[in-house]
Amino acid sequence: MTTSAITKVSEQLCFGGKQIRYKHQSAVLHCDMQFSVFLPPQAETARVPALYWLSGLTCTDENFSSKAGAQQFAAKLGIALIIPDTSPRGDDVPDDENAAYDFGLGAGFYVNATQAPFNKHYKMYDYIVSELPELVEAALPLTDKRAISGHSMGGHGALVIGLRNPERYCSISAFSPICNPANSPWGIKAFNGYLGEDRSQWQQYDASLLLRDAKKVAPILVDQGSADNFYPEQLRTASLVEAASLNDVNAEIRLQPGYDHSYYFIASFIGEHLHFHAQYLK
Ligand SMILES: N[C@@H](CCC(=O)N[C@@H](CSC=O)C(=O)NCC(=O)O)C(=O)O
């Protein structure tokens, strides 16, 4: 079934709501894309607010949909979940030269690439901030109230997009985010490839650098597992803690003892994140 510019691929009943997958042609990314949506039961009779979830390296929209267990909380709280893919897709889309997992396909880093050959398709920042909300808010029973969350590379994306657009997102949360990509091996590789060597262009995509100077900051909740194999080298959580204390913002950054980087960690705390966002989405 086609609803304006988006076409339904699949639909399942879930906790009284609907778990739906759509495909569409992205004008921003110049390729066909898929994304997933959970519509809570309340969306049958009224428009509902939405939490955007940005996934991490190697993910599609299906990792969070099938592993996090978020739908049971979203159904009770009357919140839609909008779950995009992590990069442009398709045979025409350039990938890492060695098909590595941390650059190219599945690793868009939620930036607008400026460097050839990536600058035609890799405009994930504009896709998440503008194109996708315009599409889903026109086609689905959604209000324009939005919150944003994500994991790892997606936690970086959620923090950066939420911090740069305080008028568009009422709350921000993240699991195991890459907090200071300008100084992490994953981030340095991605920013060099997508943005080039001029580090002044990297600052707009680094949550710790943005948070130091941000004027208006939505409430933030971050969870980081102490047994995460990417912590602290890749994730650099201490930089975000320092920036939050320098700017005196409403940010709770929690170290959760014994948890790792996996979706078992996300599933353990996703209910608390949904309840956190529900306070501000009402
Ligand atoms: N394959 C890589 C690690 C890949 C990985 O751990 N991906 C995470 C996100 S990491 C940061 O963005 C993930 O969410 N994977 C999908 C899942 O369902 O768990 C390696 O071997 O190091």
Counting from 1 in the atom list of ligand 1, the atom nearest the Cα of 55 is 14
Q: How far apart are the first and last CA of the chain?
A: 31
Q: What is the per-residue pLDDT for 60?
A: 98
Which residue type occupies 163?
Answer: L
Residues contacting residue 19 through CB under 8 Å, at least 6 positions apart: 11, 12, 13, 36, 37, 38, 65, 71
Distance 56 CA to ligand 1 centre (A): 7
- CA 187 to centroid of ligand 1, rounded, Å: 15
- The CATH number of residue 145's host domain is 3.40.50.1820
152 part of the active site:
yes
Residue with tokens 């600052």: 203
* ipTM greater than 0.85: yes
Q: Structural domain tally of the chain?
A: 1
Exactly one of 36, 87, 152, 171 is catalytic; name it.
152
Domain that holds residue 73: 2-278
pLDDT in tens, the chain (282 residues): 445 599 999 999 999 999 999 999 999 999 999 999 999 999 999 999 999 999 999 999 999 999 999 999 999 999 999 999 999 999 999 999 999 999 999 999 999 999 999 999 999 999 999 999 999 999 999 999 999 999 999 999 999 999 999 999 999 999 999 999 999 999 999 999 999 999 999 999 999 999 999 999 999 999 999 999 999 999 999 999 999 999 989 999 999 999 999 999 999 999 999 999 999 999
In the block, which residue shows the tokens 């599409």? Answer: 135
CA of 52 to the centre of ligand 1 (A): 19
Please report the pLDDT score of residue 1 as a whole number: 46
The predicted structure's pLDDT at residue 4: 58
- pLDDT tens track for 234-269: 999 999 999 999 998 999 999 999 999 999 999 999
Distance CA 85, CA 61 (A): 5
* Ligand 1 geometric centre to CA of 68 (Å): 14
Residues with CB under 6 A from ligand 1: 56-59, 63, 67, 101, 151-153, 261-263
Contacts of 44 by beta carbon, 8 Å cutoff, 6+ apart:
none
* CA proximity to 173, closest of 152, 149, 154: 149
pLDDT of residue 87: 98
pLDDT of res. 65: 98
Kindly state the DSSP code that residue 127 receives in the 8-state scheme.
I
Contact (CB, 8 A) for 150 and 53: yes
Q: What global pTM score does this model have?
A: 0.98
Atom of ligand 1 nearest to the CA of 57: 12
What is the structure's pLDDT at 238?
Answer: 98
Predicted local confidence at residue 248, as pLDDT? 86
Which of 58, 87, 175, when mutated, tests ligand 1's pocket best, judged by the most ligand atoms within 8 Å of its CB? 58
